[in-house]
Amino acid sequence: MPKTGPRRLIVVLGDQLSTDLSSLQAGDRERDVVLMCEVAEEATYVDHHKQKLVFVFSAMRHFADELRQEGWEVDYVGLTDSGNTGSFAGEVKRAAHRYEPDQIIVTEPGEWRVLKDVEGWEKSTGRPVKTLQDRRFLCSRAEFAEWSDGRREMRMEHFYRVMRRRTGLLMDGDHPEGGRWNFDEENRKPADRSLFMPEPPRFRPDATTREVMAMIEHLFGDNFGDLQGFGWAVTRKEAERARDHFIDNVLPGFGDNQDAMLLGEDFLYHSLLSPYLNTGLLNPLDLCRRAEERWREEKAPLNAVEGFIRQIIGWREYVRGIYWLMMPDYAASNHLDAKRDLPWFYWSGETDMACIAEVVSQTRRNAYAHHIQRLMITGNFALLAGVEPRQVHEWYLAVYADAFEWVELPNTIGMSQFADGGILGSKPYASSGAYIDRMSDYCGKCRYDVKKRVEEEACPFNALYWDFIARNESKLGNNRRLAFAYRNWARMDPATKKALRTRARSFLNQLS
């Protein structure tokens, strides 16, 4: 027997697919109604990879079913349903007319753009809107602001220790397990073909996913990305299977092989869990506790488990904190005054640089590349070439299944492009071909020679690296972490300097 009394409208957004979401916890399934809507505004703010669109919409549809099974009334508006206004504001207004709720409840959105939208709902519907904290994150926006307040500089490593103490993860009383907070020195081994590579589980599209695939192919057929081979989990159960596979088979090798890159090996020792964490199919703290348990059972080494947990309670929470602290101005940051257009090969993959061609083609196939590929291949190249950070940001926001602005933007603008001038991290991640050669087997299959610097056949990363160092000297010359590079540049003879810069210029001039 449904309860009578005031009815509330609970709006659940596409990255809030968690049954323990604060808005759902605040609701009453016997009385309130849940609104979920696919809207054109979200589907088009960048030209998303087709797999990302299918993943989000299929996961949303499956989540609506999950809520219905739990007894909720869910009003689900599909992208092509008649009357769909194409925006959150429009759909919330229409739903307010349908249900005449006495209150609208929503968990705070992950992104600035959507928060601005939510802030207009009270006026557009004439109903009070209650916005609740997103408790899936371990550090609230207010707590991060408090932590950062008065600090001369923010650093992830300091923040991470606070999060370790707060969660108790890998702690022995007040001390870190193993006597150190960070075991990175033992990680980051180069690629090794002889390693056994665990294959990640892929999930066969069910009828719902196939329906979404047909819709996306029809509406967004020209967007970047292949749909055949779509294998992302779209239900909580599937995401949990992916999680268990990672914990059982991949986690033990995570630390050692975190930075390795091998031709034809798209996933190596990574979890591929970011799309599920970012949409709420998996809970970050639960995942970390399961990883910790593996170490306590002596089934995974401390360097692997600590490295994995750091990415989640450290980096993931830290970049979110920076995003909310710095938005909206952060999106326009361009400390190095980079102006070049994003080269077309970021979309086509058509370049003789084997490393970039490999990462772009993998990205097209899977809507995935691992961290070092994003940071040290495509990110590094854009940084060295001086591509405008906004264009780099829009590319990353479009092409990865896990790309939501709160996490993508600080990683791109801050970590990868140093466009924030050092707010997020202390140095630009710039490197010559030598690093790529050490961590991958890409160079062996490349038309360019990684050992050469100035010749026509020389690896472009080499001259571009020195050109980057030289042209940004006024802004980076005092950076302690680049002292070695600037000392080497200062020692170089003028003819070599000139040849490097000429080679960089001629390479950049032929980019389109």
For ligand DLZ, the binding residues (CB under 6 A) are: 13-15, 37-39, 42-43, 48, 53, 56, 109-111, 114
Query: How far lies 371's CA from each of 222, 261, 302, in Å?
Result: 27, 10, 21
From 89-97, 98-106, 367-375, 504-512, span contacting ligand FAD (CB under 6 A): 367-375
Nearest distance from C-beta of residue 410 to ligand FAD, angstroms:
8
Cα 279 vs. chain centroid, distance in angstroms? 11
Buried b (16+ CB within 10 A) or exposed e, 180-209: ebbbeebbbeebeeebebbebeebebeebb
From CA 294, how far away is CA 41, in angstroms rounded? 42
Task: Catalogue the E-assigned strands of 64-200.
Answer: 73-77, 103-107, 129-132, 171-172, 175-176
Nearest distance from C-beta of residue 67 to ligand FAD, angstroms:
24
15 touches which of ligand SF4, ligand FAD, ligand DLZ, none (CB within 5 to 8 A by kind)?
ligand DLZ
From CA 266, how far away is CA 272, in angstroms rounded? 11
From 58-66, 92-100, 307-315, 466-474, span contacting ligand FAD (CB under 6 A): 307-315
354 touches which of ligand SF4, ligand FAD, ligand DLZ, none (CB within 5 to 8 A by kind)?
ligand SF4
Q: Do 355 and 446 meet the contact criterion of CB atoms below 8 Å apart?
A: yes
Nearest distance from C-beta of residue 460 to ligand SF4, angstroms:
6
272 touches which of ligand DLZ, ligand SF4, ligand FAD, none (CB within 5 to 8 A by kind)?
ligand FAD
The answer to whether residue 50 forms part of the interface with ligand FAD (CB under 6 A) is no
Number of C-beta neighbours around residue 476 at 10 A: 22
- Of 238, 268, 235, nearest to 250 (Cα)? 268
Site mask, ligand SF4, residues 330-359, x = CB under 6 A?
-----------------------xxx----
Please give the structure tokens belonging to residue 186. 């033992």
Residue nearer to ligand FAD on the CB measure, 35 or 413: 413
Cα 455 vs. chain centroid, distance in angstroms? 37
Residue nearer to ligand DLZ on the CB measure, 15 or 388: 15
The answer to whether residue 469 forms part of the interface with ligand SF4 (CB under 6 A) is no
Give phi and psi for 29, each to the nearest 5. -70, -15
67 touches which of ligand SF4, ligand DLZ, ligand FAD, none (CB within 5 to 8 A by kind)?
none
108 touches which of ligand DLZ, ligand FAD, ligand SF4, none (CB within 5 to 8 A by kind)?
none
The answer to whether residue 36 forms part of the interface with ligand FAD (CB under 6 A) is no
Number of C-beta neighbours around residue 341 at 10 A: 10
The answer to whether residue 442 forms part of the interface with ligand SF4 (CB under 6 A) is yes
The answer to whether residue 475 forms part of the interface with ligand FAD (CB under 6 A) is no
From 90-98, 360-368, 384-392, 453-461, span contacting ligand SF4 (CB under 6 A): 453-461
Alpha helix (H) residue ranges in 327-441: 345-348, 354-366, 371-373, 380-385, 389-399, 405-409, 433-439
Report the DSSP beta bridge partners of residue 458: 449
From CA 337, how far away is CA 369, in angstroms rounded? 27
Place of tokens 């040290």: 376
From CA 359, how far away is CA 378, in angstroms rounded? 7
Nearest distance from C-beta of residue 13 to ligand DLZ, angstroms:
4
The answer to whether residue 312 forms part of the interface with ligand FAD (CB under 6 A) is yes
Residue nearer to ligand FAD on the CB measure, 388 or 402: 402
- Of 207, 220, 211, 203, nearest to 281 (Cα)? 203
Please give the structure tokens belonging to residue 222. 């020209």
3-state secondary structure of 105: strand
From 21-29, 218-226, 333-341, 429-437, span contacting ligand SF4 (CB under 6 A): 429-437
Residue nearer to ligand FAD on the CB measure, 79 or 424: 424
The answer to whether residue 56 forms part of the interface with ligand SF4 (CB under 6 A) is no
Q: What does R_g of the chain's alpha carbons equal in angstroms?
A: 24
- CA angle, corner 259, sides to 254 and 265, nearest 5? 85
Residue nearer to ligand SF4 on the CB measure, 313 or 443: 443
Q: Do 326 and 406 meet the contact criterion of CB atoms below 8 Å apart?
A: no
Among 304, 384, 433, 464, binds ligand SF4 (CB under 6 A): 433
The answer to whether residue 446 forms part of the interface with ligand SF4 (CB under 6 A) is yes
From CA 169, how far away is CA 309, in angstroms rounded? 8
461 touches which of ligand SF4, ligand DLZ, ligand FAD, none (CB within 5 to 8 A by kind)?
ligand SF4
* Sites of contact with ligand FAD (CB under 6 A): 270-274, 277-278, 308, 311-312, 315-316, 319, 370-371, 374-375, 379, 396, 400, 402-403, 407-408, 411-412, 415-416
* Sites of contact with ligand SF4 (CB under 6 A): 353-355, 433, 436-437, 442-443, 446, 448, 450, 459-461
